């Protein structure tokens, strides 16, 4: 039986037994290569479930939809390793209880998918820890390498041009599982801390605020970059922040839910070299 | 015999229009995104795009526009208005859906307060539309009773020739005739046939949808929650839409000096209807999505007798979660009014 069919059976069981009140997965989209988030509450809705190599969106952010988890009932969600790490971070940041989330783990290898064994995010610790190791030795993205070679002035010009396309639709924020603030700093308008205008200053303010707030928290799932309607290479910023946090604090986010949020916790022996 | 503009003369046209004091715009693909942008030569155009990622609306109603400079003094408040630009513009290669979008928004920007920024730009711009010979899975102009060769909002209509070497030229307005006059000697007579229009299948029954939307009982239908469950509440659909026109005023500066700006706003945002008291009449994403659909296909036509959608499909094409007007109206088509 294919991974998709095995999971269909499992999901039907989860729903018909009443173990979970909802399963969040994927279904077919408008075009052959698109998948849509699919919310299943009855076994009948499971027939539309699709699980294949086009299921790349990190669905963990939906768990924080207002009121969804407040009744204490469990929800199952299809997650790749990046999504499982998101659950750990959200739990570490007290946004959800990981024992309310049933992980339906899978991974994509080229055009193939495989099931990952485990039920709670903590069951996948071997996997999340090994991805830490893999990230340390990951070859630099060619575009990142190109940016590193630039002079600061050239790099500034690169981002000025990229950000000039920003239309402040906040799709990057809304698509990000880590951007869960009920009221984002840019929506605080008394006073208006961050300009809502799409001029050079406003675009830098927003994109830098977004990237900074994700330092040590981003799982590099790519939801932001895919959501951006004007294709700003947001992933490059997040990659850079991940590299910096890894080098400075040896912190790789989402390994476990007991991992302390790196920039929100204080340790006496923290290096102070970053303080100017 | 009709008059045609051959593709190899386009660069001469651009030069001619620029020499006559026009700024020339057209579809341009830059890096990984495309928009209608200013060009110096026809070589910069990308006329092969089905349509640019960003709509032509932003050339008339930019994302941010300075309105007024203010300075608060002890005895008085000084203000100075920014003036709408008056440059003459030729916008070449506009898609019929985008041009229609401009015509749809004209009554909105002029029904009580006449928006000078919109109309100065409208009156100083010539819209040269090129009929579509290609479409994709998201195009839906025909469902909105428009077509790949709609002339709505266009000053000049160009129909691509079958041989791919130019366009048949049809002037539609005085502004259009003026622009064509400047390049009249570059046109030639030809009997070359035009290429067939793009095939855009009808995706939903608009009349059935409108009937359902107008039934007040459906306002509280559970349909709205179901259809919008995956909406993440970003402004991508509204900001790329050629007809969405909502804006917000922002004062930027310090307490005493600053600039008042008009910035795009979106009904998808939670903050859009937030009251000072903290009460939000559209407190859920489903209420916001319902508003977007109701506004486009019920309230706007109720006031201006035209739907606030030209079928470009950008809302669905670019949606991070593959939602959009098409899916919603397709679903409504199947419901009992």
Q: Could you give the 3-state DSSP secondary structure of residue B248? A: strand
In a domain, B233, yes or no: yes
- The answer to whether the Cα torsion of A232, A236, A238, A244 is positive or negative is negative
Domain boundary among B138, B159, B190: B190
Pair B183, B89 in one domain: yes
| Domain presence at residue B56 | yes
Q: Do A30 and B327 touch (CB under 8 A)?
A: yes
Residues B152 and B294 in one domain: no
B136 and B6: one domain? yes
Mean pLDDT of B120-136: 97
Query: Could you tell me if B277 and B319 lie in one domain?
Result: yes
Same-domain check for residues B219 and B171:
no
Do the Cβ atoms of B236 and A227 come within 8 Å? yes
User: Within chain A, where are the H helices?
Assistant: 3-16, 81-92, 125-136, 142-149, 152-164, 171-175, 200-213, 223-227, 234-249
Same-domain check for residues B265 and B315: yes
Q: Which of chain B's residues have a Cβ under 8 Å away from the Cβ of A186?
A: none
Cβ–Cβ of B229/A39 closer than 8 Å?
Answer: yes
Residue B74 CA to residue B66 CA, distance in Å, equals 24
B-facing residues of A in 119-178 (CB < 8 A) are: 161-162, 165, 167-171, 173-175
A145-165 residue pLDDT tens:
999 999 999 999 999 999 999
Which tens digits make up the pLDDT trace of B62-94? Answer: 999 999 999 999 999 999 999 998 899 999 999
Minimal Cα–Cα distance from A231 to chain B, Å?
6
Any idea how long chain A is? 276
Q: Are residues B324 and B288 both part of a single domain? A: yes
Residues B114, B210, single domain; the answer is no
Q: Are B259 and A202 in contact (CB under 8 A)?
A: no
Number of folded domains that form chain B: 2
Q: Which of A37, A198, A229 sits opposite B63 (nearest CB)?
A: A198
> Is B201 inside any structural domain?
no
> Are both B10 and B84 inside the same structural domain?
yes
Q: Does B161 share its domain with B242?
A: no
Last residue of a domain, one of B166, B190, B214: B190
B229–A36: do the CB atoms touch at under 8 Å?
Answer: no
What is the average pLDDT score of chain A?
93
* Confidence label for A190 from pLDDT (cuts 50, 70 and 90): confident
Q: What is the mean pLDDT of residues B165-180?
A: 97
Residues B176 and B215 in one domain: no
**Minimum mean pLDDT among A31-35, A138-142, A270-274: which range?**
A270-274
Arithmetic mean of pLDDT, B281-302: 97
Residue among B218, B219, B207, B256 nearest B75 (CA): B256
Integer Cα distance of B334 and B337 in angstroms: 9
Strand partners, B33: B30
CB A172, CB A224: distance < 8 Å: yes
pLDDT, tens only, B91-111: 999 999 999 999 999 999 999
d(CA A36, CA B42): 39
pLDDT for residue A138: 83
* Strand B2-6 with B22-30, pairing: unpaired
- The residue range of the domain holding B238 is 206-333
Three-state DSSP at B298 gives helix
Contact residues on chain A for B234, CB-CB shorter than 8 A: 169-171, 173-175, 227
B142 or A275: which leads in pLDDT: B142
How far apart are the CA of A174 and the nearest CA of chain B, in angstroms?
A: 6
Checking if the pLDDT of B146 tops 60, the result is: yes
**Which three-class secondary structure state does DSSP give residue A42?**
coil
Mean pLDDT of B220-248: 97
Domain map (residue ranges) of chain A: 3-130, 142-264
> How confident is the model at residue A274, as a pLDDT?
61
A169 and B266: CB-CB below 8 Å?
Answer: yes
Which chain A residues contact residue B28 at CB under 8 A?
A: none
B329 in any annotated domain = yes
- In chain B, whose CA is at the least distance from the CA of A230? B33
Structure-token pair, residue B311: 């079928």
**Could you tell me if B232 and B184 lie in one domain?**
no
Give me the mean pLDDT over the B219-236 stretch.
96
| End residue of a domain, out of B143, B163, B190 | B190
Residue with token string 């895919």: A226
Residue B60 in any domain: the answer is yes
């Amino acid at each position: 039986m294919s991974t998709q069919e095995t999971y269909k059976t499992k999901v039907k069981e989860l729903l018909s037994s009443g173990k979970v009140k909802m399963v969040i997965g994927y279904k077919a989209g408008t075009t052959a290569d698109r998948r849509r988030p699919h919310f299943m509450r009855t076994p009948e809705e499971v027939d539309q479930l699709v699980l294949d190599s086009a299921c790349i969106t990190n669905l963990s952010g939906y768990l924080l939809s207002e009121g969804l988890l407040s009744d204490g009932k469990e929800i199952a969600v299809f997650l790749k390793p990046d999504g499982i790490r998101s659950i750990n971070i959200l739990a570490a940041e007290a946004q959800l209880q990981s024992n309310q989330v049933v992980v339906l783990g899978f991974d994509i290898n080229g055009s193939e998918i495989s099931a990952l064994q485990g039920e709670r995010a903590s069951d996948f610790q071997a996997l999340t820890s090994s991805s830490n190791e893999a990230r340390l030795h990951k070859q630099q993205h060619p575009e990142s390498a190109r940016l590193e070679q630039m002079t600061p002035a050239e790099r500034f010009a690169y981002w000025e041009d990229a950000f000039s396309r920003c239309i402040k639709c906040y799709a990057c924020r809304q698509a990000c599982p880590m951007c869960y603030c009920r009221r984002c700093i840019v929506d605080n308008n008394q006073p208006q801390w961050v300009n809502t205008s799409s001029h050079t200053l406003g675009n830098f303010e927003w994109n830098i605020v977004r990237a900074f707030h994700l330092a040590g928290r981003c799982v590099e799932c790519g939801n932001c970059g895919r959501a951006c309607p004007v294709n700003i290479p947001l992933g490059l910023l997040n990659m850079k922040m991940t590299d910096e946090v890894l080098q400075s604090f040896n912190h790789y986010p989402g390994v476990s839910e007991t991992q302390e949020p790196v920039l929100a916790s204080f340790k006496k022996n923290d290096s102070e070299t970053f303080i100017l | 015999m009709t008059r045609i503009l051959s593709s190899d003369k386009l660069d001469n046209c651009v030069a001619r229009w620029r020499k006559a004091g026009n700024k020339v715009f057209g579809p341009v693909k830059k890096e990984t995104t495309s928009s209608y942008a200013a060009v110096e030569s026809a070589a910069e155009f990308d006329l092969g795009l089905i349509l640019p990622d960003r709509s032509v609306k932003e050339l008339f109603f930019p994302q941010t526009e300075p309105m007024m400079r203010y300075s608060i003094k002890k005895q008085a408040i000084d203000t100075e208005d920014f003036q709408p630009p008056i440059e003459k513009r030729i916008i070449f290669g506009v898609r019929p859906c985008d041009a229609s979008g401009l015509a749809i928004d004209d009554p909105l920007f002029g029904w009580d307060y006449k928006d000078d920024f919109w109309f100065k730009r409208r009156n100083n711009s010539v819209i040269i539309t090129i009929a579509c010979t290609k479409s994709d899975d998201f195009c839906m102009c025909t469902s909105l009773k428009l077509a790949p060769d709609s002339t709505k909002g266009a000053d000049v209509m160009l129909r691509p020739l079958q041989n791919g070497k130019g366009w048949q030229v049809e002037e539609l307005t005085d502004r259009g005739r003026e622009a064509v006059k400047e390049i009249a000697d570059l046109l030639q007579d030809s009997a070359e046939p035009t290429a067939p229009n793009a095939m855009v299948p009808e995706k939903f029954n608009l009349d059935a949808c409108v009937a359902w939307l107008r039934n007040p009982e459906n306002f509280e239908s559970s349909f709205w929650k179901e259809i919008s469950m995956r909406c993440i509440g970003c402004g991508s659909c509204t900001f790329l839409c050629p007809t969405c026109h909502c804006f917000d005023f922002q004062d930027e500066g310090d307490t005493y000096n600053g600039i008042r700006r008009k910035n795009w706003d979106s009904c998808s945002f939670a903050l859009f209807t937030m009251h000072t008291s903290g009460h939000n009449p559209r407190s859920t994403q489903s209420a916001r999505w319902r508003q977007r659909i109701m506004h486009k296909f019920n309230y706007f036509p109720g006031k201006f007798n035209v739907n606030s959608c030209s079928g470009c499909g950008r809302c669905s094409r670019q949606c991070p979660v593959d939602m959009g007007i098409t899916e919603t109206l397709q679903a409504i088509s199947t419901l009992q009014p």
